[in-house]
Structure 1
Amino acid sequence: MTDADQTGPPQPTRLWTIGRTAWALLGIAAVVLALGYVASAIAIVLIPTVLALFPATLLAPIADRLCRRGVSPGLSALLTLLLGLVVFFGVLAGAIALVIAQLPELLESAAEGVGQIEGFLEDDPLGIGVEGFADVADLVQEQLGEAGDLAPQAATAAVFAVEFVVGLLLMFVVLFFYLKDGRRLRDAIVTTFPRARRPVVGEALDRSWDTLSGYLRGQLLVAAVDAFFIGVGLVILGVPLALPLAILVLFGGLFPIVGAVVTGALAVLVALADGGLTTGLIVAGIVLAVQQLESNVLEPYILGRSIRLHPLVVLTSIAAAASVFGILGAFLAVPAAAITARVVDLLRDRDEATADAGAG
């Protein structure tokens, strides 16, 4: 046996390995940029398609139950969709009615706060020549006048309004087909891949769906507990708009960490405007206590494996996505990160199983 046979094929040098890895990373970055460009070009279709997945995870079990009782898939999807719309817009209309009913009381409290700020500004503590809200209004008007003609802004707002309505209608249509043909759509996606890859693709889709469903249901339950305790505290303290603020806390819970801070701060501001410093501090204490309960008890117990992410990953994901995609990115960041982590776990487990089988 020669020395060449003993040593085997030449091993790549470390420099070659680093270079190959660098080129691979550049290729991945190029693919990501290309996908981002395509996504931005078809955003009016892509965004409703993605957003429809969230209500679908909540409504799909209802549609499936109706189908098992003998109702046709199309009628089951339609009835479930109508039920979801009635519940959502019913809650929204009730919250708006409560805001309108309690608005005079809040405006009166806010007027008192405005009077205090007016007195503070009259002393011109900042030395900028502003001695009241009249001067502030003049300054704002001057800045707006320098910003240019408002016609382009109005045109942009009109285009956004049209795109929003179109996207909302498209989301309802997509949601209907998710409820009606969800399993068929899943199988159609799987069959587009080579036969050898279909099992892992199917399992990845199933894990993604389970993760999204578990995340949304768990996060809604956590947010509901937060809203309940904060709402009860606001009612006991006699803070106006207690129920609408609790509903905002509920929806804010869909934005982990960030949403709780923003909606909690809003509750504190309303309490300050209505009841003064003492009431505001008490509300701030209630919000902080509820958030500690959420982060230390509710999330680990309720969410479990659905969102097994470090808080730093959650914060950086929300911040990065929000800086690129705005509010929509902040909403999608955490479930996207959780789904990515579950799919990576799946691929790693399969690689380890393959390696163990080869070694055996």
Structure 2
Amino acid sequence: MTEPNAPSAPSWRTGRVGRIAVRCLQFLLIALTVWVVGQVLSRLAFVMVPVAVAILLAALFVPGVAFLAARGVPRWLATTVVLLGGVGALGALVLFMVTSVVDGLPDLGKQLNESLRELRDWLTTFGLSPEQLDNMISQAKDWLSTNRSGLVSGVFGVLSTAGTLLVGLLLALFLMIFFVHDGARLWRGLLRPLPESSRGRMIEAGERAFRDLTSYVRTTLLVALIDAIGIGLGLWITGVPLVLPLAGLVFLGAFVPVIGAFVTGIVAVLVALVTQGPVVALIVAAVVVAVQQLEGNVLEPLLMSRAVKLHPVAVILGVAIGAELAGVVGALLAVPVMTTVRSATRPFFEDSPTEDTSPPHHPA
């Protein structure tokens, strides 16, 4: 006969192993959900990529529309003015950068080959034989040629032909118009089937995520421009050729955080090394480092909120996973997706203890 106040035997759910098992099951359920969502999105890549581009562009243009609407301009007129002016200016800027890179690619390729030869001759002074260096260079070229198709494939393969690319661009522009003009009402209408008790939190989470995404897009565009102008001025002052293609390459690379700026900076240093010598290459490297330090330590803290800022390790892992899963598009969209998800879900995982506003108690 058991004692009436004797402690009951712990069940499998309250023991340490039971708690670990419950957490593992929860993790597996979340992983399964993420996998299913990823499979659905990959099947709908032709639609989801334009939707993502439209949301990013809307995040760039909505503040301008809100600014004009707050000053009495009808929203349809504010949307028309901002979209026509913004799309025109952004399209002209991107077109100029892309054409400068494309026009300079032949000369840039020749300069890079010269840079590799100069680098090989310089490395032989450290005891490496030319055969070893040629083998390393050939292995690197083989790796790039093998993985280039994988990087360009993925989601980008859905938009590989000119016709599908044009349709995707038109779909993104069409969706962007409605997102800019009536995005908040569309979001509320999408959440209407949810229970009223949770609908308010979801609406607030979406608005917060879009606000942080706006900060991210604006900061990324400004940082890309400042990187291109700063490094371009450094190349022009030091007399390095191909200033416009290299500046355009830096501008485009800055949209892939951390990795893009690092790789394009190496290209600029290599071109400076082969054309102007090691002293100028060191100066260009110092300019690249200084511009990136200015970007990371001054511009981003000023322009980007703490809710948007991600740790560099998370950024690198996100870009790598995005490139592996969806190629170039995955690398470009990885950080915006991480920023949006983090901003939307952050209040659900943070404790918000009530602050004690009473005056401090002083013992007698």
Please indicate the TM-score interval, normalised by the length of the shorter structure: 0.7 to 0.9
**Judging changes above 3 Å, is the alpha-carbon distance between structure 1 residues 326 and 292 closer, same or farther for their aligned structure 2 residues?**
same
Which residue of structure 2 aligns with residue 272 of structure 1? 273
The answer on whether the counterparts of 1:59 and 1:84 sit within 8 Å (CA) in structure 2 is yes
Q: How does 1:224-239 map to 2 (within 5 A)?
A: 224-239=225-240
Q: SS where residue 52 of structure 1 aligns?
A: helix
User: Which residues in structure 2 correspond to 1:20-59 (within 5 Å)?
Assistant: 20-59=22-61
Matched residue type, 1:91: L
Question: Structure 1 counterpart of 2:333, which letter?
Answer: L
- Deviation (angstroms), 1:74: 4.0
Kindly report the root-mean-square deviation, in angstroms, between the aligned alpha carbons of the 2 structures.
Answer: 3.9
Give the Cα–Cα distance (whole angstroms) in 1 for the partners of residues 285 and 57 of structure 2.
32
> 1:205: Cα distance to partner?
0.5
> Do the aligned partners of 2:46 and 2:158 also contact (CA within 8 Å) in 1?
no
Cα distance in 1 for residues equivalent to 2:113 and 2:27 = 59
Point out the more displaced range, 327-336 or 227-236: 327-336
Name the CA shift for 1:127/1:51 in 2 (closer, same or farther; >3 Å). closer
- Residue 305 of structure 1 aligns to a residue whose secondary structure is coil
Q: Tell me how far apart the structure 1 counterparts of residues 329 and 116 of structure 2 sit (CA, whole Å).
A: 37
Q: How many residues align?
A: 327
CA drift at 1:44:
0.7
* Structure 2 residue 52 is the aligned partner of structure 1 residue 18: no
- Partner deviation per Cα, 1:265-310 (whole Å, 9 max, x = no partner): 2222332343344333321221122223323333333324143322
- C-alpha change, 1:158 and 1:56, in structure 2 (3 Å) is closer
Cα pair distance change 1:308/1:100, threshold 3 Å: closer
Q: Are residues 1:126 and 2:131 paired?
A: yes
Displacement, 1:332? 1.9
> Compared with structure 1, are the counterparts of its residues 297 and 268 closer, same or farther at alpha carbon in structure 2 (3 Å cutoff)?
same
User: How many angstroms does 1:171 deviate by?
Assistant: 0.5
TM-score calculated relative to the size of structure 1: 0.76
Structure 1 pair 128–336 and aligned structure 2 pair: CA distance change class (3 A): closer
Q: Which position in structure 1 is the counterpart of 2:222?
A: 221
| C-alpha distance in 1 between matches for 2:215 and 2:32 | 33
SS at match of 1:315: helix
Structure 1 portions without partners, runs of 5+: 131-135, 145-155
C-alpha contact 1:318 1:330 (8 A) present in aligned 2: yes
Match of 1:248 in 2: 249
* Greater helix proportion: 1
Aligned counterparts of 1:111 and 1:19: Cα–Cα separation in 2? 55
**Inter-partner Cα distance in structure 2 for 1:108 and 1:332:** 28
Indicate conservation of the 8 Å contact 2:62/2:180, yes or no: yes
Match of 1:258 in 2: 259
| Structure 1 equivalent of residue 169 of structure 2 | 168
Say whether the 8 Å CA contact 1:239–1:275 is kept in structure 2. Answer: yes
Matched, 1:307 2:312: no
* Inter-partner Cα distance in structure 2 for 1:252 and 1:107: 16
Question: 3-state DSSP class of the match of 1:326?
Answer: helix
Q: Deviations over 1:142-190 (max 9, x none)?
A: x99xxxxxxxxxxx89963332222111101111111121121121123
* Worse-matched range after superposition: 330-339 or 203-212: 330-339
Distance 2:315 2:159 in 1: 34
The aligned residue for residue 181 of structure 1 is: 182
Identical residues among aligned pairs (%): 36
More divergent stretch after superposition (338-347 vs 5-14): 5-14
Q: TM-score, normalised by structure 2?
A: 0.75
Question: Structure 2 matches for 1:149-160, cutoff 5 A?
Answer: 160=161
| Map of 1:190 onto structure 2 | 191
Deviation at 1:234, TM superposition (A): 0.9
Q: Is the 8 A contact 1:245 1:267 kept in 2?
A: yes
Q: Structure 2: how far apart are the matches of 1:24 and 1:103?
A: 51
Matched residue type, 1:231: G
Q: Measure, in 2, the Cα distance between the counterparts of 1:3 and 1:85.
A: 79
Structure-2 separation of matches of 1:158 and 1:70: 41
| In structure 1, distance between residues paired with 2:112 and 2:24 | 61
CA distance in 2, matches of 1:206, 1:111: 46
Cα deviation code 1:55-82 (max 9, x no counterpart): 1112112233444566554444343322
Tell me: CA distance 1:180–1:9, structure 2 relative to 1, closer, same or farther (3 Å).
farther
Q: Shift in Å at residue 21 of structure 1?
A: 2.1
Q: Quick check: 1:77–1:177 contact (8 Å CA) kept in 2?
A: no
SS of match in other structure, 1:126: helix
Distance 1:303 1:128 in 2: 43
Q: Summarize the Cα distance change of 1:206–1:290 in structure 2 as closer, same or farther, 3 Å threshold.
A: same
Distance 1:22 1:208, change over 3 A: same
